[in-house]
Amino acid sequence: MIKGKVITLGVPGGIAVYKVADLASKLTGLGATVNTIMTGSATEFVKPVTFQVLTKNPVHTDLFSSSAEHKIPHIELAASADLFLIAPATANIIGKIAAGIGDDLLSTSVLAANCPVLICPAMNVKMYSNPIVQANISKLKEYDFHFVEPEQGLVACGDYGKGRLSDSSTIIYAIEQLLGQAKDMSGLRVLITAGGTREAIDPVRYISNRSSGKMGYALAQAVNSRGGQAILISTPTCLEIPLGVEGIIVESAMEMRDAVLKHYPHCQIIIKAAAVADYRCESVFSEKLKKDGESLTLKLIKNPDILAELGCSKREDQTLVGFAAETQFLDQNAKKKLISKKLDLLVANDVSIPGSGFGSDSNRVKLFYSDGMVEELPLLSKLIVANKIIDAVKNIRSKR
Ligand code: CTP
């Protein structure tokens, strides 16, 4: 899909420029023609000759330079591209594009672009979470600019949080999706659950679990970008409902059950990524509990198993996918859940492995199919895992 495509790569100035050099090399290796534009500050981090050697193409830095093949560089570089990639996208370039400013070769070229633009932000954690930057990103999404979100981690200045440039495999996957994206989910309604349910103790406290909701949100995003209609039933998380996805926020397992049962009949695919609490308090205190006694005993009663209920009433045209987060005996537990809940596919992960599972941006999962097949995936970003799960679902449905 990347082979033979022309990618204009805009490189603004940020410490992650060295990672983009590797990305440029990989894209060239995959058969793309990569035309690089570097801003003045990008050249402070890495010399243009690095990109020139890695992409086997001249690097453009100057709005007013003209060569035989690029008479008006910003127009030519924009017009010739199948995709415009900007990495590492700084707050500055995001702000300039959002404001329609063209004051150098990169910003003018983006303004002249008539192809999909993929922006990969990378900056300081506080800068990324700044409401002005976030408002600029939201504005650009409304104008159909595409984003690969930065990852959570330690950034160059020592802060921990969201701001690290996403890894090159995730960016390449996003490029493939944009360049060759078949809208292969169009016409399908997909119900997705996400997050950890909250079981109330009193008006201020609840019992919950470590689920961040990231896997479910990635699934909703993937369904949406492949042309499907995603209905995301989620507990409160710190994530934004992806654009174009119908979001329904619930708190407890019982509320999630009500919402799921309401939408279930109208969906062809159901993916239950939520971590549903198995138990809830038998009675919820109506006032805030006071620390009067030396100990406190809460009586918990079992919640209904929503997924098992769905399995019992599944229609021929419906495909049911469950998740299993395990810390031991992964295969045995996964196979048991696949059969007992009457699933078509079970996605299992060992949450005790670093970089996999709760809160992480990546996941290492094993797919268990109802025909006995097992597929082990490597450690991948959650968005890629989401797309692999959708591929698996499509495969199952095509064999019917
Ligand atoms: N699930 C559900 N309703 C519940 C519990 C779980 O719908 N009350 C769903 C989850 O959304 C997930 C799958 O069942 O897709 C497996 O959840 P998990 O917590 O791993 O397993 P349990 O069946 O709860 O079993 P256990 O906690 O004993 O491992």
Query: Domains along the chain?
Result: 6-180 (3.40.50.1950), 189-398 (3.40.50.10300)
How does pLDDT run across 70-111, given as a tens digit for each residue? 567 778 888 889 999 999 999 999 999 999 999 999 999 999
Q: Is the CB of 60 under 6 A from ligand 1?
A: no
Residue type for position 210: R
Probe residue for ligand 1, chosen from 263, 305, 332, 352 as the CB with the greatest number of ligand atoms within 8 Å: 305
Q: 158: Cβ–Cβ under 8 A, 6 or more apart, which residues?
A: none
pLDDT at 11: 98
Residue type for position 368: F
Nearest CA to ligand 1 atom 16: 324
Q: Is the CB of 345 under 6 A from ligand 1?
A: no
Q: Is the CB of 218 under 6 A from ligand 1?
A: no
The two tokens of residue 6 are 């022309």
Q: What is the DSSP letter of 196?
A: B
Burial of residue 234, with CB atoms counted within 10 A of its CB: 0-12 exposed, 13-18 middle, 19 or more buried: buried
pLDDT at 210: 94
> Per 3-state DSSP, what percentage of the chain is helix, strand, and coil (rounded to 5)?
35, 25, 40
DSSP count for the chain of H helices, then E strands: 14, 22
Q: Is the peptide bond between 236 and the residue preceding it cis, with omega within 30 degrees of 0?
A: no
User: Which position has the token pair 């595409």?
Assistant: 146
How does pLDDT run across 305-314, given as a tens digit for each residue? 999 999 999 9
How does pLDDT run across 222-265, given as a tens digit for each residue? 898 788 999 999 999 999 898 789 999 999 999 999 999 999 99
**What is the number of the ligand 1 atom nearest to the C-alpha of 306?**
7
- Which residues are the active-site residues? 157
Rounded Cα–Cα distance for residues 351 and 362 (Å): 11
Q: Is the CB of 280 under 6 A from ligand 1?
A: no
pLDDT at 64: 79
Per-residue pLDDT of the chain (400 residues; tens, 9 = 90+): 788 999 999 999 999 999 999 999 999 988 899 999 999 999 999 999 999 999 999 999 988 775 555 567 778 888 889 999 999 999 999 999 999 999 999 999 999 999 999 999 999 999 999 999 999 999 999 998 999 999 988 777 788 889 999 988 889 988 988 887 668 899 999 999 999 999 999 999 999 999 999 999 999 988 987 889 999 999 999 998 987 899 999 999 999 999 999 999 999 999 999 999 999 999 999 999 999 999 999 999 999 999 999 999 999 999 999 999 999 999 999 999 999 999 999 999 998 888 777 888 889 999 999 999 999 998 888 888 998 999 999 999 999 8
Probe residue for ligand 1, chosen from 211, 263, 272, 320 as the CB with the greatest number of ligand atoms within 8 Å: 272
User: Which position has the token pair 């993916």?
Assistant: 271
pLDDT at 70: 53
Residue 282 phi/psi, 5-degree rounding, is: -60, -45
